[in-house]
Amino acid sequence: MMGVMYMVLIRPQQKKQRDQASFTSGIEVGDKVVTSSGLYGTVNHIDDETVHLEVDRDIVVRVARAAVLRSQDAPATPAKSGGLLGGLLGGGARPTDDPTTSDSGGAGRGKGKGGDDANGGDKGQRSKR
């Protein structure tokens, strides 16, 4: 049982950590990268613990080296939901592109539902207390 837990949970996480560490150690000046917070930029300067990213012309931001997540050239990999048994037990990924499905049942969505703005509220109106 412990062997299965190791193979399913621990080993893939260790591989992911090793891959991320090798990526961050291989960052070079001129690489186009994305940070974990979603900031896109070009590596301008590298220190031991920080990376300077040029996010726009003449705008340089200093971020932690560990915050650099991936290269801009690499496609973003969506998070897998449900895990190994998710598909078998009903926890697999659900399509999110379908506009006809909604978790909230449409409450408070759309124009003209009880208010002036698109979210169904009264824009600019405050309750008097």
Task: Assess whether pLDDT exceeds 90 at residue 50.
Answer: yes
This prediction has a pTM of 0.53
pLDDT (average), residues 81-104 = 53
The predicted pLDDT at position 91 comes to 54
Integer angstrom CA distances of residue 49 from 61, 65, 67: 14, 5, 10
Q: Higher pLDDT residue, 108 or 73? A: 73
Task: Assess whether pLDDT exceeds 80 at residue 78.
Answer: no
**Alpha-carbon dihedral angle through residues 109, 114, 119, 125, given to the nearest 10 degrees:** -170
Separation between Cα atoms, residue 96 and residue 12, nearest integer Å: 27
The predicted pLDDT at position 94 comes to 54
pLDDT-based confidence at 99, cuts 50/70/90?
Answer: low
Separation between Cα atoms, residue 110 and residue 67, nearest integer Å: 38
pLDDT 10s digits, 105-120: 445 445 545 555 555 5
Structure tokens at 69: 């997540």
Using the 8-state DSSP alphabet, how is residue 63 labeled? E
Q: Please name the fold of domain 28-73.
A: SH3 type barrels. (2.30.30)
Integer angstrom CA distances of residue 68 from 29, 34, 45, 63, 111: 13, 6, 13, 8, 40
Helices (H) and strands (E) in the chain, counts: 3, 5
